[in-house]
Structure 1
Amino acid sequence: MRIVSAALALVLAASLPTLAADVSKAPPQGAYKAVSSLVKLPDFLPGMGQLFVDPATLPAGPFLAYDHDGRLVSTIYMLPIKELNPDRRFDALAAPGGNVDHVDVYYNAGHPGVEEPHVHVVLWHVPVSDQARVAK
């Protein structure tokens, strides 16, 4: 239930306009760094794309995900399972890429950069049919 509540909060937050710098093309402006430059991960992760994050926002993010052509496809939040409880809220999570077409939520046991178990909340800026741009 908490995961669903967090996902719904993200969808609502994603509908709010953002005043951030243009992040539609990689590399994004501002404090964003390639995740592969921060932790031992490849430059491009199949199913996710090339990820960028502002290190100050770790572990939750937002992580900006780009396809092979450098076009933004999704914004990803990685919410630690241990922090999804009645005492912790993730409010006003932004969608720096703008409009959200759909949202995926799934469990991840951990990986370099976010080692503890967490939930990926993926705000897709492209239709399901365009997700193939990051499949390989």
Structure 2
Amino acid sequence: MLIRTILVAGAFAMAANPGQAQNLDMAPPGGTYKKVSELVKLPDFLPGMGTLYADPKTLPAGPFLAYDRDGRLVSTIYMVPVEDIQGRKKLDNLKAAGAKVDHVDMHFNAGHPGVEKPHYHVVLWHVAEADEARVAK
């Protein structure tokens, strides 16, 4: 129930907040964003996620901007430590990269380079569920 509450509250916050003025629809996003594969030991393209960009100052939580192989923004991802969820930490004002959010998913991850602690990927999809296949492979 707590997770559902977090996701619903986050979705409303994101829908109400237009995000940054900079156009982030196409990669590379520019500004302070850097390709994640240049910051930590990860491949350029992660199946299921895409090519990730982040502002190094916001690591490890994000937001991470995820792009398909054609460089189109498909999602904004946050990496929330399990300990924050278990501790009932309030997650407010999650930005959605200035794009409309179609739906939200949340997936457990045991840890990986850059975010070694167990965490959840909170994925704010900017594309319809059927279009998630753009980053599947």
TM-score bracket for this pair, using the shorter chain length: over 0.9
Structure 2 vs 1, CA of residues 82 and 100 (structure 1 numbering), >3 Å: closer, same or farther? same
> CA offsets per residue over residues 84-112 of structure 1, 9 Å max, x none?
223x3221011014101111111111110
Percent identity over the alignment is: 61
2:104 is the alignment partner of 1:91: no
Aligned residues: 135
> CA offsets per residue over residues 33-74 of structure 1, 9 Å max, x none?
100000000000001000001111112100000000000000
| Residues in 2 aligned to 1:108 and 1:133: alpha-carbon distance in whole angstroms | 21
Alpha-carbon contact 2:108-2:121 (below 8 Å) kept: yes
Let me know the Cα RMSD of the aligned residues: 1.2
Residue 15 of structure 1: SS of its match in structure 2?
helix
Which segments of structure 1 move beyond 6 Å, counting only runs of 4 or more?
Answer: none
Alpha-carbon contact 1:72-1:97 (below 8 Å) kept: no
- Cα offset, 1:18, TM superposition: 2.1
Structure 2 vs 1, CA of residues 97 and 46 (structure 1 numbering), >3 Å: closer, same or farther? farther
Residue 100 of structure 2: SS of its match in structure 1?
coil
**Match of 1:35?**
36
Alpha-carbon contact 1:75-1:97 (below 8 Å) kept: no
Provide TM-score, normalisation by structure 1.
0.94
**Match of 1:66?**
67
- Cα offset, 1:19, TM superposition: 3.4
**Match of 1:135?**
136
Alpha-carbon contact 1:39-1:113 (below 8 Å) kept: yes
Provide TM-score, normalisation by structure 2.
0.93
